Structure 1
Amino acid sequence: MVIRRRLRAIVFPLLLYCVSGAAGGYFVWHALNGERGLKTKDEYRLKIADLEAQLAGLQSESDLWRRRIELVNGAIVDRDLLDELARRVLGRADKNDLVVMLPQQAR
């Protein structure tokens, strides 16, 4: 009887501490590494910054194309730009033109 009481006095608190420590460790681990944890929050911030930089680049490219389209579709057509586009599409050049071939820029 005395041995059981001593065993219970030692085992039950030890078991209680182990279970509560495991539960606390579980919640701490998920607070750091979980789906909404602190590390994930930093990763999302980096991804947002990268996507915002990509968006800024795409908006500047969109503005460039918008300006070029306005030059062709406006009430007054820019004749030089229209001539350049027509020659590029048709692959033609005048006999007095000087043709300079530039390498294509990577986009």
Structure 2
Amino acid sequence: MWTRHHKQRKFGRFILPAITIAFLSYFGYHSIHGDLGLIATEEFEKQRVARSGELAALTVKREALERQVHLMSDGSLDKDMLDEIARYQLNVSRRDEIVIFNNYF
């Protein structure tokens, strides 16, 4: 009676671990360096902090503009406010005046 003996190949037992390592390496790399990975998340957080500071500055500027609009459209126009804005916009002053600009317009 003849029996077949199969020779054990070393290559066959490394296929499944090689596929597993390749799979884990691919997803591990992209979880750190990918578009939504850890490094990109840190960059997004830095941008969020910078833009929240910018938002705060713009909010303060908007509130100042709203106060000026309120003074000008309250029903009774404040003559000093109107004179100040007109002088600033037209860049006009008298000879005996000292002009200090605060750049809030």
TM-score normalised to the size of structure 2?
Answer: 0.75
- Residue number in structure 2 paired with 1:24: 24
Larger helix fraction of residues:
1
Task: Give the number of aligned pairs.
Answer: 100
Change in Cα spacing, 1:93 to 1:49, as seen in structure 2 (3 Å) is: closer
The equivalent of 1:33 in structure 2 is: 33
Aligned partner of 1:67 in structure 2 is 67
Relative to 1, partners in 2 of residues 1:36 and 1:91: Cα closer, same or farther, differing over 3 Å?
A: closer
Partner Cα separation in structure 2 for residue 37 and residue 91 of structure 1: 53
Gaps of 5+ in 1: none
Cα offset for 1:36?
Answer: 2.2
Q: Distance in 1 between matches of 2:92 and 2:80?
A: 15
Percentage identity across paired residues of the two chains = 25
Distance 1:42 1:94, change over 3 A: closer
State the Cα deviation string for residues 8-39 of structure 1 (Å, max 9, x = none).
Answer: 1x111123322221111111111222222222
Q: Which residue does the alignment assign to 2:97?
A: 98
Deviations 1:37-75 (A, max 9, x none): 222222222211111111111111100111112112222
Kindly state the Cα deviation for residue 91 of structure 1 after the two structures are TM-superposed.
4.0
Following TM superposition, the consecutive aligned residue runs of length 4 or more in structure 1 with deviations greater than 4 angstroms are none
User: Do 2:93 and 2:99's aligned partners in 1 also have CA atoms closer than 8 Å?
Assistant: no
Which residue matches 2:7? 5
Using a 3 Å threshold, how does the CA distance of structure 1 residues 33 and 5 change in structure 2: closer, same or farther?
Answer: same
Matched position secondary structure for 1:5: coil
Give 2:7's aligned amino acid: R
* 3-state SS of paired residue (2:11): helix
Q: How does 1:70-89 map to 2 (within 5 A)?
A: 70-89=70-89
Note closer, same or farther for the CA distance 1:47–1:90 as it changes in structure 2 (3 Å cut).
closer
